[in-house]
């Protein structure tokens, strides 16, 4: 296939809105899968942004607490269409998942465990594992261009899998190695890692490697102060409003405060902060039980949107269980709590992008800034592989290594992997086919 020679037509706000809305409904597979989908759509197919600019934005998002895929969407939307674009891209990445999870949480609380749903989940879980493996391969094939970067990826995997080191420490170490490497062997930590360009060219992009930074994306202290005041004001107004309406010890107010803290701890994705959420929501506040938390995680894994959206399920169940508005308004209580939790979880994500992205744009192409980020991206590949191992273990040995091996799950996972790697099928067909396979197995038992 020949490489296009002309730059795509400018993207209208309507076109961007339709794409970000579509992405909100197809963003399965966790952050790795979501980033892979965005890369395929935005870099390879639509050519809205170049490979180098995409990875530059991704490296910054990897540094931040919060869901990196949602933040990457916010960054690219902001770069293309100013604040409106960032709010639309980041918001539509979350809202479909919120509405779907509210509906599924209602079914879960009102009707309990349904065999049909259990069968669908049985098939979806190994498919999600295959999606993460596939995403690790795609990100790694674009990132690990030489032995240095491969070494960082392997070291990151060992650090998190065997040594159980915290993700922020891994990020810090990888950034430090990248910084030193950028000075000692700069060619190995440049955009192409010592092997030419970052990736084969997909043709000229609307936002290319040499495209000047637009005016709205240029750093200024006045804009920095404005963003700081607006977002801190929004947070204080929302938290203060809940306190004034219900009191500081009320469930909604405590959820807002707790998930603000949780949002600032989500380095490395949802799994890095889930123990903290479990401890607070289950053990301390008693908003839900341990088994309910595990069921919520399964819902979060199998619905579009960031995996951290599991906190919306936590909020819904907590609002329902505590009957915030009385026994006759359980659905309203659950929906209100889920909305509050989602708002306070994702507000910091928008804040970090709008505050820091203009500075990051000034570092584009400067090796002293990009080399540490290249090291971090390599480390994230190892972390994604660790996530795939984590998924595979819990799917194939649900009762631990001493329990039986789930041959049916393994077969579904292998079939999903073949569909992804060999036949290049999309996320939706793989998820749907695997869910139907799980349901068929459930019916045969």
Annotate 304-345 with DSSP letters as a single string: SS-GGGHHHHHHHHHHHHTTTT-TT-HHHHHHHHHHHHHHHH
pLDDT per residue rounded down to tens, the chain (445 residues): 456 667 888 899 999 999 999 999 877 656 767 887 888 889 888 899 988 888 888 878 877 778 888 999 999 999 999 999 999 999 999 999 999 999 989 988 887 566 777 787 788 778 878 877 887 787 788 778 888 899 999 998 998 888 878 766 887 898 899 888 888 888 777 754 433 344 455 778 888 878 888 888 888 899 999 999 999 999 999 999 999 999 999 999 999 999 998 888 665 556 556 767 888 898 889 999 877 886 787 677 667 888 788 899 999 999 999 999 999 999 999 999 999 999 999 999 999 999 989 988 877 666 666 677 778 778 878 877 887 787 788 788 888 788 889 899 899 999 999 998 988 887 778 878 988 998 898 788 7
Q: How many CB atoms lie within 10 A of CB 241?
A: 12
Q: Say if 38 falls within a structural domain.
A: yes
The answer to whether position 370 is within a domain reads yes
Q: Which residue has the tokens 């971090």?
A: 376
Tokens linked to 100: 């779907």
Check if the beta carbon of residue 272 is closer than 8 Å to that of residue 165: no
Has residue 46 been placed in a domain? yes
Sign of CA dihedral 220, 226, 229, 234: negative
Give the mean pLDDT of the chain. 84
Find out whether 101 and 295 touch, Cβ atoms under 8 Å.
Answer: no
Query: Does 232 reside within a domain?
Result: no
- The tally of domains found in the chain comes to 1
The H or E element that residue 56 is part of is helix 51-63
According to the model, what pLDDT value does residue 29 have? 59
Residue 80 lies in a domain: yes
Alpha helices (H) along 144-166: 147-161
Q: What's the predicted TM-score (pTM) here?
A: 0.73
Contact 225, 365 (CB under 8 A): no
CA distance 85 to 141: 30
Mind listing the pLDDT tens digit for each residue in 174-222? 889 988 888 888 877 775 443 334 445 577 888 887 888 888 888 889 9
- Rounded distance, CA 380 to CA 268, Å? 8
Residue 414 within any structural domain of the chain = no
First to last CA, the chain: 47
- How many Cβ atoms sit within 10 Å of the Cβ of residue 407? 9
Phi, psi of 171, deg, nearest 5: -60, -45
d(CA 256, CA 201): 45
| CA-based nearest residue to 60, from 268, 270, 353, 349 | 353
Which structural domain, as residue segments, surrounds residue 45? Answer: 13-113+132-145+180-208+350-384
**88 is a domain residue:** yes
pLDDT at 192 (0 to 100): 46
Residue 431 lies in a domain: no
In this structure, the number of other CB atoms found within 10 A of the CB of residue 411 comes to: 13
Side-chain half-sphere of 102: how many Cα atoms within 13 Å?
19
Q: In this structure, are residues 326 and 311 in contact, taking their beta carbons and an 8 Å threshold?
A: no
């Amino acid at each position: 296939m020949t490489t296009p020679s002309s730059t795509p037509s400018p993207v209208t706000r309507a076109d961007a809105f339709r794409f970000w809305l579509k992405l909100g409904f197809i963003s399965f597979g966790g952050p790795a899968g979501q980033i892979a989908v965005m890369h395929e759509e935005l870099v390879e197919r639509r050519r809205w942004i170049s490979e180098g600019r995409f990875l530059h934005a991704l490296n910054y998002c990897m540094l931040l607490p919060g869901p990196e895929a949602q933040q990457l969407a916010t960054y690219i939307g902001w770069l293309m269409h100013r604040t409106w674009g960032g709010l639309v891209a980041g918001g539509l990445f979350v809202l479909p998942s919120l509405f779907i999870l509210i509906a599924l949480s209602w079914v879960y609380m009102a009707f309990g465990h349904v065999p049909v749903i259990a069968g669908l989940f049985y098939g979806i879980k190994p498919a999600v594992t295959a999606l993460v493996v596939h995403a690790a391969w795609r990100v790694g094939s674009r990132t690990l261009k030489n032995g240095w970067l491969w070494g960082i990826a392997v070291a990151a995997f060992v650090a998190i899998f065997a040594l159980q080191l915290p993700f922020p420490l891994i990020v810090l170490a990888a950034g430090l190695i990248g910084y030193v490497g950028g000075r000692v062997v700069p060619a190995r930590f440049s955009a192409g890692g010592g092997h030419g360009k970052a990736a084969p060219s997909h043709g000229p992009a609307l936002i290319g490697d040499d495209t000047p930074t637009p005016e709205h994306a240029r750093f200024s202290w006045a804009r920095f102060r404005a963003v700081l005041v607006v977002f801190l004001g929004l947070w204080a107004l929302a938290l203060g409003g809940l306190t004034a309406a219900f009191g500081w010890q009320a469930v909604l107010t405590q959820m807002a405060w707790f998930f603000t803290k949780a949002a600032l701890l989500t380095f490395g994705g949802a799994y890095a902060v889930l123990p903290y959420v479990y401890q607070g929501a289950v053990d301390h506040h008693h908003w839900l039980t341990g088994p309910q938390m595990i069921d919520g995680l399964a819902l979060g894994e199998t619905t579009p949107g960031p995996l951290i959206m599991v906190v919306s399920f936590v909020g819904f169940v907590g609002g329902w269980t505590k009957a915030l508005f009385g026994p006759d308004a359980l659905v309203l209580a659950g929906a209100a709590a889920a909305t509050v939790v989602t708002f306070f979880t994702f507000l910091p994500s928008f804040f970090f992008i709008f505050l820091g992205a203009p500075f990051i744009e000034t570092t584009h192409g400067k090796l002293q800034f990009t080399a540490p980020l290249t090291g971090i991206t390599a480390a994230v590949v190892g972390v994604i592989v660790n996530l795939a191992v984590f998924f595979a273990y819990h799917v194939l040995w649900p009762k631990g290594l001493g329990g039986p091996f789930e041959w049916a799950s393994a077969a579904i996972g292998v079939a999903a992997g073949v569909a992804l790697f060999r036949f290049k099928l999309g996320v939706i067909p793989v998820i749907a086919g695997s869910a139907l396979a799980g349901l068929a197995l459930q019916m045969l038992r």
